[in-house]
Every structure is written in structure tokens, then in C-alpha cells.
């Protein structure tokens, strides 16, 4: 196992997609076409929090990973 991994990086995750769909340009742009700055500054991360770290710790991981000053959670992640 590699050293210096965050706790959630130690487990392999599977991406689950409910439905493949197209985005209408009248409602915005295709998420794949957004710049990294747009995604970081205006994005929401839908996270399946692993057991172990607290919600506060996971928010701190996000700030560290993205190199941003502010991050938080809405409600509980437990």
C-alpha cells in the first residue's frame, strides 16, 4: 500500500450512474465542459463518506485536496 494516502484513498470505489442523460444548453452547460475553476468554486461534492472520519475531518480533507480556504457540509454525513 502506498504511503501518505488519505483514509478514503485506501479503498477502491465504484462509480454508480443511475441514468445517462444529455444536458440542455438552456439549463447550463455539460458538466464535462466546465473548467476546473468553475467546478471548484461553484461545485457541490456528493460524497459517500466512509466510516471512520468525522464530517468535520472529511471537510478538512476536501480543503486539503482542492487547495481551497472554505469547505463545509450541510447536515450530517453519518
**Which residues constitute the domain of residue 66?**
32-78
Q: Does 7 fall in a domain?
A: no
Phi/psi zone of residue 63: left (φ > 0), alpha (ψ -120 to 50 degrees), beta? alpha
Residue 73 has pLDDT above 60, yes or no: yes
Judge whether 6 lies within some domain: no
Query: Is 48 domain-assigned?
Result: yes
Domain membership of residue 8 (yes or no) is no
12 part of a folded domain: no
Count of domains observed in the chain: 1
Residue 36 pLDDT exceeds 70: yes
- As a whole number, mean pLDDT of residues 1-30 equals 79
Does the structure show a pLDDT above 60 at 78? Answer: no
Model pTM score: 0.47
**Cα atoms in the 13 Å half-sphere on the side-chain side of 41:** 5
Model pLDDT, residue 76: 62
Amino acid at each position: 500500500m502506498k504511503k501518505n494516502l488519505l483514509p478514503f484513498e485506501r479503498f477502491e470505489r465504484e462509480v454508480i450512474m443511475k441514468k445517462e442523460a444529455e444536458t440542455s444548453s438552456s439549463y447550463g452547460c455539460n458538466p464535462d465542459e466546465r473548467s476546473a475553476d468553475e467546478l471548484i468554486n461553484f461545485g457541490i461534492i456528493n460524497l459517500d463518506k466512509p466510516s471512520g472520519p468525522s464530517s468535520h475531518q472529511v471537510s478538512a480533507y476536501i480543503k486539503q485536496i482542492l487547495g481551497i480556504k472554505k469547505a463545509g457540509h450541510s447536515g450530517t454525513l453519518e
